[in-house]
Amino acid sequence: MQTQTHHKPCTSPEIGGVGHSLRRVEDARFLQGAGNYVDDVNLPGMLHMAILRSPVAHAKLVSIDSSAAMELDGVLAVVTGELMAQHNLAWMPTLSGDTQAVLATDKVRYQGQEVACVIATDRYIAEDALRLIDVDYEELEPITNPQRSLEADAPLIRTDKEDVTDNVSFTWEAGDKDATDAAFAKAAKVVSIETHYPRSHPSPLETCGIVADVHPATGKATIYMTSQAPHAHRTLFALVAGLPEQNIRIISPDIGGGFGNKVPIYPGYVVATAASLLIGLPVKWVESRTENLISTGFGRDYYMTGSLALDDNGRILGLRTDLLADQGAFYSDAQPTKFRAGLFHIVTGSYDFDAAHVTAKGAFTNKAPGGVAYRCSFRVTEASYLIERLIQNAANEIGMDPAEFRRMNFIQPEQFPYTSPTGFVYDSGDYETAMQMAMDMVGYDELRAEQAAAREEGRLMGIGMASFTEVVGAGPAHTYDIAGLKMFDSAELRVHPTGKAILKLGVKTQGQGHETTFAQIVAEELGIPATDIAVMHGDTDNTPYGLGTYASRSTPVGGGATAMVARKLRDKARKIAAHLLEASPEDLDWEPGKFSVKGSPDSSVSIQDIAFAAYTNHPEDEEAGLEGVHYYNPPNMTYPFGTYIVVVDLDPDTGVWTVRRMVAVDDCGVRINPMIVDGQIHGGLTEGFAKANMQWITFDEDGNCIGSNFMDYLVPTAWETPRFELGETVTPSPHHPIGAKGVGESATVGSPAAFVNAVIDALAHLGVTNIDMPVLPDRVWKAIHNA
């Protein structure tokens, strides 16, 4: 596909189709404090739930005495694992085919695990009652890293599984071992790296929560929930709780950020629903920040080794990587079933070579479970980080400029569609154009000259680059499913008689602006002004089935469904137009908003008139109405890419590094709303910077979570966050209906390596080859002094 510097809109600003930076329709309610988040849902008679969590990381659960808690005024129930077990709900399936304790029955396996729940008339009373519950634990050795977990004498964490004798959660491989061995055998040079991509937490500003309302007379369960995937969650609720699916309505109202954190089903949701069912009143549970950070789905925690085989000229011959995943106590990663390490095998990145082999193993530890794809398409972030760090180190080792090394090894535009050594078929790309744009924007050659002079003066500065390729938009149904549900998505479009429309989606925004951008897709395809189209999502009773929003799949999959359903209606509109214009359908020309008779442009009919006729004067051989639904099964994934360049200044006395410049050139195909795309990139770059600079979750040797609040778990404020300079190229996806690729995660995927490469570039001449993230000042200082 031809790469352009930007996409020119085909519709007028009044129609507001693809390419217009429309202001967001959802903003009006948020600006006036009229959003409706889960914690804003209050129902008559509603009760409140609080959760008692384990203070220790690994222990036998000896006894729970809740009698004193039950005596407190306002307490209706104390739910324990024993009670849940009576209803066969003490355990639940995870998204990765494991089981997870809802409330502990046998052991606690991580600090913060759910032990008991209090249901009370008020949250303050519920919290008071937690302190009156007496739990007797018999402590066991906590395992706080996967290396210890795999030792022969390590205590067994999953004693709940009859046939399990070790702490291995999964093993997996991809690529071709023999071909990779052969590539390494003939290599002139091998460059290796060993690094830890540390545990992090998505920590959206709104924590997770639920209001469960099971009606005692009808049995209808209306569940307001912080859900990125309401339809899939309804099905899982039906399977877990044994409730008839038609009696479950999941409403995911306004969501205060997700970033993967709101993909899994958490124990609190299950207990609140069960409590509402048993008591007959609505039950609310909203996490505290500490609950969110210590118990819900984390991201990353991969120990990675990687090696590149190079020939004499610096051409890459092959890549070998081995991974060890710290899984926590239950294997509850959210990812497609067939891919136990997610889509990590995109690790060959933007580079053209023949052989790659990936091996991976997961280990249980006494930490919170739930390796979610934190603003990333299933481990693509870890993969991108590893290859881009390897590229930097390889260039350094052979004494070549990292940009030149990339240029020499890039997949070339004429090679697309490109089949990667691990089996992906990249749809389109032009990596060198994006890289050159970033280099021109930042003034690359001048910076290199400045760097050389600075080294003479003993001043440290670094220029770091990352040229990432993502794989997003899961995905084709033949390959991708979650818990057996194929990863298609859907859109239903109803054009009303007055020409206004409502679009109902299977995907669900958490702030990405779907109510604006998906209306723009319809505007593009039907010529109905975007402002005349209401977008509805997140309510399973009123939207078609879909797998939800994560892994940058809304635009690639839900956006495809939206374009396709609009095209279905356009086909029908053509027949109605032919009827109105007394012409044959083939003799009509379409332009956004109207059909006209070929050769007589004055003889035309607008989409609004066609919509009216669909209900008042439709052709006799057509059904009435202008409504439709489409379930879109994408033919392939999409492959956004870009180049990020970071310039840092580094103080050798303190190890502190500061970002002087950050240039980001993204190519996400056609941009539906450029303003919103830029906003997504800003946010992603900030999260990438955060992980490179400060943001991680650690545990002490007893398994206490360090980072259980925003004073210990550092997320960047406006003061630390660097300024960003954005550029774009546009290489449309050839298979996507509107050529879009998805963008929500590119910047989080691509940027961490650019920041770290900049620090390494500043120190490489001293012999420093790696510092793990977060690149904290003390780590930098030690690296300088140990070099």
Partner 1 sequence: MQITINVNGTEHTADVEPRRLLVDAIRSDFGLRGTHIGCDTTSCGACTVLVDGVPMKSCTMFAVQADGASVTTVEGLKQGAELSNVQKGFAQEHGLQCGFCTPGMMLVSTALLEENPDPSEDDIRWAISGNICRCTGYVNIVKAVQWAAAQNGGEEG
Q: Give the residue numbers marked as catalytic.
A: 228, 375-376, 745
Tokens of 561: 């469904």
Three-class SS string for 18-70? CCCCCCCCCHHHHHCCCCCEHHHCCCCCCEEEEEEECCCCCEEEEEEECHHHH
Map the footprint of partner 1 across residues 110-129, applying CB under 8 A.
124
Prior bond to 417 cis, omega within 30?
yes
Q: Kindly tell me which residue out of 32, 165, 218, 786 binds partner 1, with binding defined by CB under 8 A.
A: 32
For position 289 contacting partner 1 by CB under 8 A, the verdict is: yes
Part in contact with partner 1 (CB under 8 A); list of ranges 311-319, 437-445, 592-600, 680-688:
680-688
For position 694 contacting partner 1 by CB under 8 A, the verdict is: no
Q: How far is the CB of 746 from partner 1 (least distance, A)?
A: 13
The closest alpha carbon to 722, from 679, 661, 667, belongs to 661
For position 660 contacting partner 1 by CB under 8 A, the verdict is: no
Q: Helix, strand or coil for residue 648?
A: strand
Part in contact with partner 1 (CB under 8 A); list of ranges 381-389, 425-433, 509-517, 519-527:
509-517
Binding characters for partner 1, 219-258, by CB under 8 A (x = yes): -----------------------------------xxxx-
Compute the distance between CA of residue 682 and CA of residue 676 in angstroms, rounded to an integer. Answer: 10
Part in contact with partner 1 (CB under 8 A); list of ranges 62-70, 301-309, 435-443, 505-513:
505-513
Q: CB nearer to partner 1: give 354 or 720.
A: 720
Q: CB nearer to partner 1: give 35 or 625.
A: 35
Tokens of 275: 């409590």
Judge whether 54 and 104 are in contact, CB under 8 Å: yes
Judge whether 498 and 510 are in contact, CB under 8 Å: no
Part in contact with partner 1 (CB under 8 A); list of ranges 199-207, 413-421, 568-576, 696-704:
199-207
Q: How far is the CB of 75 from partner 1 (least distance, A)?
A: 17
Q: How far is the CB of 726 from partner 1 (least distance, A)?
A: 9
Q: Helix, strand or coil for residue 786?
A: helix
Sheet containing 221-225, strands listed edge to edge, beginning at the edge strand earlier in sequence: 75-80, 114-120, 47-53, 283-286, 209-214, 221-225, 248-251
Judge whether 522 and 533 are in contact, CB under 8 Å: yes
| Max CA pair span of the chain | 86
Q: How far is the CB of 203 from partner 1 (least distance, A)?
A: 7
For position 106 contacting partner 1 by CB under 8 A, the verdict is: no
- 163: Cβ contacts below 8 Å, ≥ 6 apart: none
Cα atoms found within 13 Å of the Cα of residue 510, Cβ hemisphere only: 31
Q: CB nearer to partner 1: give 162 or 719.
A: 719
Instruction: Give the β-pairing of 418-419 and 355-364.
Output: unpaired
Q: CB nearer to partner 1: give 544 or 688.
A: 688
Instruction: Give the β-pairing of 107-108 and 59-65.
Output: antiparallel
Binding characters for partner 1, 257-276, by CB under 8 A (x = yes): x-x-----------------
**3-state DSSP percent of the chain in helix, strand and coil, to 5:** 30, 25, 45
Q: Helix, strand or coil for residue 642?
A: strand
Q: CB nearer to partner 1: give 247 or 721.
A: 721
Q: CB nearer to partner 1: give 37 or 781.
A: 37
Phi, psi of 650 (to 5 degrees): -130, 130
For position 719 contacting partner 1 by CB under 8 A, the verdict is: yes
CA-based angle 189:193:195, to the nearest 5? 175
Judge whether 448 and 737 are in contact, CB under 8 Å: no
How many angstroms from the chain centroid is the CA of residue 783? 33
For position 704 contacting partner 1 by CB under 8 A, the verdict is: no
Compute the distance between CA of residue 95 and CA of residue 92 in angstroms, rounded to an integer. Answer: 10
Q: How far is the CB of 35 from partner 1 (least distance, A)?
A: 5
For position 218 contacting partner 1 by CB under 8 A, the verdict is: no
For position 754 contacting partner 1 by CB under 8 A, the verdict is: no
For position 37 contacting partner 1 by CB under 8 A, the verdict is: yes
Q: Kindly tell me which residue out of 183, 685, 754, 773 binds partner 1, with binding defined by CB under 8 A.
A: 685
Compute the distance between CA of residue 58 and CA of residue 104 in angstroms, rounded to an integer. Answer: 11
Q: How far is the CB of 172 from partner 1 (least distance, A)?
A: 31
Part in contact with partner 1 (CB under 8 A); list of ranges 5-13, 176-184, 215-223, 674-682:
674-682
> How many residues bind partner 1, per CB under 8 A?
55
Q: Which residues bind partner 1 (CB under 8 A)?
A: 23-24, 26-35, 37, 39-40, 42, 124, 203-207, 254-257, 259, 286, 288-290, 510-513, 675-676, 678-679, 682-687, 709-711, 715, 717-719, 721, 723-724
